[in-house]
Structure 1
Amino acid sequence: MAEITAGMVKELRERTGLGMMECKKALTETSGDMSAAEDLLRIKSGAKASKAAARGGSEGVIGAFISADGKTGALVEVNCETDFVGKNEDFLAFSKAVAQLAAEHNCTDIAALSAMAMTGGTVEEVRQALIMKLGENLTIRRVAYYSTAGRLVTYLHGSKIGVMVDLDGEEALGKDLAMHIAASKPVCVSKDQVASDLIEKEREIYTAQAAESGKPADIVAKMVEGRVAKYLAEVTLLGQPFVKNPDQTVEKLLAEKKAKVNGFTMFVVGEGIEKKVVDYAAEVAAAAKV
């Protein structure tokens, strides 16, 4: 039997929003398998799926650059170890310069980007010099590049969330949509872009939940499809209520403005990376026993 630690229970509570005892029981039943425990709780309680942005991650910033004509641009995530270094002027300048290089050279390959020249040497040489200067490991984690016949608009929420929107429409609308995306976190533009495996996983969860209601099979089937439709509206940009006017969906807003979103990218610093939590009290206690 796997040991169920307080940290595991805490993580599952953060993912599901459920009580400590429920989470501990689910982890016990699944022998400590976090993903299986989350699914089990969702089946039993209807808890929503966890969101990657709510989980811990490494520190760093999102760098963004858009050309003067608004046709090409790039977002980059550059990580460091502490928030203190994440606010360092040299680190911030490096992140912005890397984003500009990626945009100007149509680059999404980190190895190729690292070999490019910039002030002070190659990107990799400047990165290594910053590591020596700042005393922390720095990494370029991911890059998104855009080239469009429409217009690119970007929004940075501080330096932790970055959104780039490719649209046919006015810049002001693009800014509103970028802020909406940062707040509402859709996974794609429209429901036809949602990965089939994600839909099937949701359908399995909803089927298990509905089956516990004891209703007839045909009613269960309708309940499941209704929940799937609701899920698709929640995770797609077009299906979401617009943050500035919740009575109107983004799809209706775009139709009203005769505009179209061709695509978007949102980076959240540390998204999907588990952040190491150091228990200093435990370390001291362990050291005292040596």
Structure 2
Amino acid sequence: MTTISTDMIKKLREATNAGVLDCRKALEAAEGDFNKAVDILREKGLATAAKRASRAASEGVIDVYSHGNGRVCVMVEVNCETDFVGRSEVFRNFAHEIALQIAAASPLYIREEDIPQEVLDKEAAIAAAKAREDGKPEAIIPRIVEGSLAKFKDEFVLLRQKYIRDESKTVQDLLNETVVSTGENIVIRRFARWALGETTQDEA
């Protein structure tokens, strides 16, 4: 059996914000493999986040971020359950990271359920037309369309985007880790992103 050292637990705890006991159990289950232990904790985080998702979240913060000397501005509302967590450094940092993500990655929606059906239908039609144009067999076009829609969601849905600071995880993973760390339900409620001059052409 692999010996789990204090340093291993400390390193895992710093990387995941999970509790000491959870880190030890994850390392034991992973036989000392750090990456496997992270995955175990992430899976546990997902389960914990799902349990807490039904709890009301009406406290929190509105984070405002300006980038590039005022060329891009983001405003995002992130909610939690209590004012205590809403004022905590972990929660505030998370809200700010979400603002940075929105500024850098320009999502259009928070979750995939927010995408209007007509947008999905349009993307599916474009993908199918392109596949036919490329001479793809009719039998595989549904699979091509499915892949194209998944790619669209990964690019434009905030929670499905790769986290800009660590592309091995998604924004959903980051949210789940923060839920585990704070012990509360956390909701990214709404956001707005403005870029200088983006409407000028439309108004001309």
TM-score (norm 2): 0.59
Aligned counterpart in structure 2 of residue 269 of structure 1, from 155, 171, 196: 196
Paired residue for 1:186? 107
Q: Does 1:252 align with 2:162?
A: no
Pairwise CA RMSD: 2.0
Alignment of 1:1-290 (within 5 A): 149-157=59-67, 158-168=69-79, 170-258=91-179, 259-274=186-201
Relative to total residues, which structure has the larger helix share, 1 or 2?
A: 2
CA distance in 2, matches of 1:275, 1:228: 27
Identity across aligned pairs (percent)? Answer: 29
Which has more radius of gyration?
1
Paired residue for 2:41? none
Displacement of 1:171: 0.8
Relative to total residues, which structure has the larger strand share, 1 or 2?
A: 1
Q: Could you tell me which amino acid in structure 2 is paired with residue 253 of structure 1?
A: L
Displacement of 1:198: 2.1
CA distance in 2, matches of 1:215, 1:267: 39
Count of matched residue pairs? 130
Q: Could you tell me which amino acid in structure 1 is paired with residue 140 of structure 2?
A: I
TM-score (norm 1): 0.42
Higher relative contact order (CA 8 A, sep 6+): 2
Q: Could you tell me which amino acid in structure 1 is paired with residue 201 of structure 2?
A: E
CA pair 276-216 structure 1, distance change in 2 beyond 3 A: closer
Gaps of 5+ in 2: 1-57, 81-90, 180-185
1:271 is paired with a residue whose SS is coil
CA pair 276-220 structure 1, distance change in 2 beyond 3 A: closer
